[in-house]
Structure 1
Amino acid sequence: MTVRAVEVIAEADVVAYHSARHGRSIARSIAERHLRPDHIEERLVYPVTTETTDHPGGYRGAMEEFYAEAAARLAAHLDAGRTVAVLAEGDPLFYGSYMHMHKRLADRYPTEVVPGVTSVSAAAARLGKPLVEGEEVLTILPGTLPEEELAARLMATDAAAVMKLGRTFPTVRAALERSGRLADAHYVERATMDAERTAPLAEVDPESVPYFSMAVLPSRVELADRVELADQMEVPGQVELSGQVDATPEAARGEVVVVGLGPAGPLWLTPEARGELAAAEDLVGYTTYLNRVPMRPGQQRHASDNKVEAERAEFALDLARRGRRVAVVSSGDPGVFAMATAVLEAASEDPYREVPVRVLPGMTAAHAAASRVGAPLGHDYAVISLSDRLKPWEVIAERLSAAAAADLVLALYNPGSRSRIWQVGKARELLLAHRTPDTPVVLGRDIGGPEESVRIVSLADLDPAQVDMRTILLVGSSQTRTVRRGDGTRIVWTPRRYPER
């Protein structure tokens, strides 16, 4: 208890506290030694906790009626000129029952909220582990969330506290396991109380878990520091991308996860991808993409040029053979003209056949650009890369002509670069053989990034000089429409219904 809390109790005429029907109150037991015989005690007994109710409004209706009645009882004391102290374990406005009184009374009577030590802070203190360090993010979650939602949020955060366990414990445990974080989770029961208990969460019997307990995922920094120290002891020096990683058949195999970063910043990074990036011991990728991933203690980063995909893939797999947990980063979706193919191609051959490989999806540039103008990909569409670095231009031209003849919307990746300046003009010629000159074309550049630009032009007016490697082209079909909205903006959409022939 804080000094101010003790003072408030001493000054109060009435001491109120919530309790279940059994009559015991944790808040009262905490403050008991500060209560006086002349205190008027108002016990606010919940009509229902976890059991069912026959109230016509169901559980919510029963609780709303209770809170209204409890507030009226406290208001009667206040109207009589008495000072009321409402006890709340932890902090009054942190998942506390007091907040329901506050919402009903604070606008009518002078109110002081005395902050308290939350159960999360108490749990961390009892574990003796930092909750967060540096720029880490702490997420507080109620265990009553669905398993899938819990897992997604656990993947996306650095540190977490999951409260309200009890009957939710099996769901919380499953979510921790699903998010790959069960091994790092701690269990804390009744922190700072007489019946306090702490343990690795994976070892806790679900039948023994009360409501007043929580799961804690503390700072990753301490764990990363221990891993880094162990690595320094076992493998001196830093691994270079240009070298072969020492791997032996006896070495514990790790894993390679190919992660899609989306086309731009963190808003389009999935929780699953965020979690894998945080959990990785090694990050491998093109320098520009690696720079988009936040630095984390204990991680090693292996950056390389954009034209060494095969070498990058083998390097990542070699790290995994040495027992490392490796994330290979890729812009957009890793399976769309990106690193997933290179990693899987290498993983299909010896000596990498046994290395576990997973691919996590990401937002791809075509979908990102389409969202900025409406729904140009609302019907059938084809995705084609204009880069002839890995396939002959003759193949590209045949596919462009076939897709255009089939009246498909086209998403054209890798349209141009400093060394490839003629492909866009040639593609325009091929497409005009099948499309009208006024066919809408969307030019999306750096979508989601600081230099984002989106323009809509006609196919006849498509200027190759305005296209570079950071641009994606969306070419409409014969059915694609452009409309100017009431606010002056233009939208592009392709109807889902195609006319009968």
Structure 2
Amino acid sequence: MNMVAGRLYGVGLGPGDPELVTVKAARLIGAADVIAYHSARHGRSIARSIALPYMREGQAEELLKYPLTTETTDHPGGYQGALDDFYAECADRLAAHLDAGRDVVVLCEGDPLFYGSYMHMHKRLAHRYETEVVPGVTSVAGAAAVLGRPLVEHEETLTVLPGTLPAEVITEKLRNADSVAVLKLGRTFEKVRDALAEAGRLDEAWYVERATTASQRIERLKDVDPAGVPYFSLALLPSGSRRDEPREPQGESAWEGVAVVGLGPAGEQWLTPEARQVLAEATDLVGYGPYVDRVPRRPGQMRHRTDNRVEAERAAHALSLAGEGRRVAVVSSGDPGVFAMASAVLEAAEDFPGVPVRIVPGLTAAHAVASRAGAPLGHDYCVISLSDLLKPWEVVADRLRAAAKADLVLAIYNPASRSRTWQVGAARDLLLEHRDAGTPVVIGRDVGGAQETITVTTLGELDPAQVDMRCLLIIGSSTTRATDGGTVYTPRRYPA
């Protein structure tokens, strides 16, 4: 008499909370003859700990212990060869139980066929034995639940990426996706974080660790220390439609034409509610590529990325699109009226008399840097760009002298670039003709960004090598003070 073979079950356990195990999974776990589960070489199994409340005494257990995780191996087939042999040996062990008529439940965190360890057994055994897969709540769904943010809405798409992909692949996919989940962090965390920054989406990203468990952790991903990131964590860029969904403006809020929008110096936290509203309502975004990339993607919205040195062409293109009846947002970093796109659009608009233009202000870099240092702009000040691309250096020098003679605090934009490396030193020397060498100077670099630094020095000790294209300088007046704690301020009262 031939013995009836046992039945194989691949059972999803969900993201970690035992109460998120399905009723069916709990029933099958309790009824199984054999419980199988994977573990690393330490022998501890998260899957078993989740299933334990539903297991019963007397069940046989099969610990499927991986021979390696990320370390090297002397196996002749290399890393993959070692794993293939391991999966084959595990399949043989489970097949022995099945051939003996015993039902086998293979436990799997999350869902068995969603990056699950069970799938390796399924490939080797499902064609030989009666098999059933019991789905489980995925880690992505669990992370969205504890974060309290929708994954996708309306026509959005969800992209799921393993962190083990090459950095350039992750970056490209992040640029073109709506909502995103990046799994398998651990040792890949820094690579994934850098890819998010490169794609202009770091400020959107949340870090969720061990979702739904007692040790779950939720943080803004940019604030996470890479040293403590485990494998069972993920990066989540949830749906933006809760607050940013494109919608038809109604009533008095309706607008048409071109809106020139200030994004602030960096990151979503610097964006004003008005700017957020306009960006959500726009049918088209136009701007320098990295600035466009800072705006969350919205279904149906067209994005027109350009180079940094084509302001006139960019403005004309935006006005032309608006002339076709589209609502166009031209994006600028900081405030669009401060060395940015507002003037370029208004100048080009003279050739498009029927297209209305509105300016949506943003927090400019001078104010952002000043806030980090204290209050160096607390009294009269002026704003000057050191760039001589659009005006002669002689004009820049005359204005520096005039501001120095007038004893104004100076906020200096565009102090240096890859091709302009001498202007900072020249400006320092001009100012020293009229200002004490001990005058406080603030160097703000990448304020609001991942590499933010604030350096307080003096005019006499200002080193041009410290200044690059991502910096803004604030040069104090005769009344500006720097405290021992590094705070810089300019009193509102000027000596009589």
TM-score using structure 1 length: 0.52
Q: What root-mean-square deviation, in Å, do the aligned CA atoms of Structure 1 and Structure 2 show?
A: 4.4
The alpha-carbon deviation at position 185 of structure 1 amounts to: 0.6
- Equivalent of 2:321, from 278, 283, 286? 286
**Conserved? CA contact 1:239–1:245, under 8 Å:** no
The equivalent of 1:4 in structure 2 is 24
The equivalent of 2:349 in structure 1 is 311
State whether structure 2 residue 225 is matched by structure 1 residue 177: no
The alignment partner of 1:153 has SS state of helix
**Conserved? CA contact 1:90–1:118, under 8 Å:** yes
**Conserved? CA contact 1:126–1:191, under 8 Å:** yes
Mapped to 1, the partners of 2:70 and 2:40 lie a distance apart of 10
The alignment partner of 2:131 has SS state of coil
The equivalent of 1:323 in structure 2 is 362
The alignment partner of 2:208 has SS state of strand
**Conserved? CA contact 1:55–1:61, under 8 Å:** yes
Change (3 A) 1:272 1:322: closer
The equivalent of 2:166 in structure 1 is 146
The equivalent of 1:388 in structure 2 is none
**Conserved? CA contact 1:91–1:115, under 8 Å:** yes
**Conserved? CA contact 1:257–1:276, under 8 Å:** no
Mapped to 1, the partners of 2:43 and 2:261 lie a distance apart of 65
**Conserved? CA contact 2:37–2:64, under 8 Å:** yes
Matches within 5 A, 1:274-423: 284=318, 286=321, 310-311=348-349, 322-323=361-362
- Tell me the amino acid that sits aligned with residue 257 of structure 2: L
**Conserved? CA contact 2:73–2:79, under 8 Å:** yes
The alignment partner of 1:286 has SS state of helix
The alignment partner of 1:87 has SS state of strand
State whether structure 2 residue 261 is matched by structure 1 residue 222: no
Change (3 A) 1:201 1:123: same
The equivalent of 2:381 in structure 1 is none
Mapped to 2, the partners of 1:246 and 1:204 lie a distance apart of 31
**Conserved? CA contact 1:23–1:45, under 8 Å:** yes
**Conserved? CA contact 1:20–1:49, under 8 Å:** yes
- Equivalent of 1:240, from 248, 256, 274? 256
**Conserved? CA contact 1:156–1:275, under 8 Å:** no
The alpha-carbon deviation at position 246 of structure 1 amounts to: 10
**Conserved? CA contact 1:252–1:321, under 8 Å:** no
**Conserved? CA contact 1:156–1:272, under 8 Å:** no
Change (3 A) 1:289 1:199: farther
- Tell me the amino acid that sits aligned with residue 51 of structure 1: E
- Equivalent of 2:95, from 75, 89, 92? 75
Matches within 5 A, 1:57-76: 57-76=77-96
The alpha-carbon deviation at position 228 of structure 1 amounts to: 8.7
Q: Give the gaps of 5 or more residues in structure 1.
A: 260-270, 294-307, 325-346, 356-501
Mapped to 2, the partners of 1:312 and 1:189 lie a distance apart of 54
The equivalent of 1:105 in structure 2 is 125
**Conserved? CA contact 2:208–2:217, under 8 Å:** yes
Higher relative contact order (CA 8 A, sep 6+): 2
- Equivalent of 1:42, from 62, 66, 91? 62
The alpha-carbon deviation at position 119 of structure 1 amounts to: 0.3
Change (3 A) 1:79 1:146: same
The alpha-carbon deviation at position 277 of structure 1 amounts to: 7.0
Mapped to 1, the partners of 2:102 and 2:256 lie a distance apart of 73
Q: Among the aligned pairs, what percent are the same residue?
A: 53
The equivalent of 2:229 in structure 1 is 209
> Deviations along 1:91-118, whole A, 9 cap, x unmatched?
0000011000000000000000000000
Q: Give the gaps of 5 or more residues in structure 2.
A: 1-20, 276-284, 305-317, 329-345, 364-388, 392-412, 415-496
The alpha-carbon deviation at position 252 of structure 1 amounts to: 8.4
State whether structure 2 residue 287 is matched by structure 1 residue 257: yes
> Deviations along 1:168-187, whole A, 9 cap, x unmatched?
00010011111111111100
The alignment partner of 2:122 has SS state of helix
> Deviations along 1:451-470, whole A, 9 cap, x unmatched?
xxxxxxxxxxxxxxxxxxxx
- Tell me the amino acid that sits aligned with residue 151 of structure 2: L
The equivalent of 2:43 in structure 1 is 23
**Conserved? CA contact 2:184–2:231, under 8 Å:** yes
The alpha-carbon deviation at position 84 of structure 1 amounts to: 0.3
**Conserved? CA contact 1:246–1:318, under 8 Å:** no
The equivalent of 1:192 in structure 2 is 212
- Tell me the amino acid that sits aligned with residue 190 of structure 1: R
The equivalent of 2:311 in structure 1 is none
- Tell me the amino acid that sits aligned with residue 239 of structure 1: W
> Deviations along 1:136-187, whole A, 9 cap, x unmatched?
0000000111111111111111100000000100010011111111111100
The equivalent of 1:125 in structure 2 is 145
**Conserved? CA contact 1:18–1:45, under 8 Å:** yes
- Tell me the amino acid that sits aligned with residue 287 of structure 2: V
Mapped to 1, the partners of 2:257 and 2:296 lie a distance apart of 24
The alignment partner of 2:69 has SS state of coil
The alignment partner of 1:132 has SS state of coil
Change (3 A) 1:280 1:134: closer
Change (3 A) 1:204 1:113: same
Mapped to 1, the partners of 2:50 and 2:162 lie a distance apart of 24
**Conserved? CA contact 1:187–1:214, under 8 Å:** yes
The alignment partner of 2:108 has SS state of coil
Mapped to 1, the partners of 2:197 and 2:31 lie a distance apart of 49
The equivalent of 2:104 in structure 1 is 84
State whether structure 2 residue 72 is matched by structure 1 residue 52: yes
The equivalent of 1:136 in structure 2 is 156
- Tell me the amino acid that sits aligned with residue 102 of structure 1: H
**Conserved? CA contact 2:256–2:356, under 8 Å:** no
Change (3 A) 1:130 1:102: same
**Conserved? CA contact 1:252–1:322, under 8 Å:** no
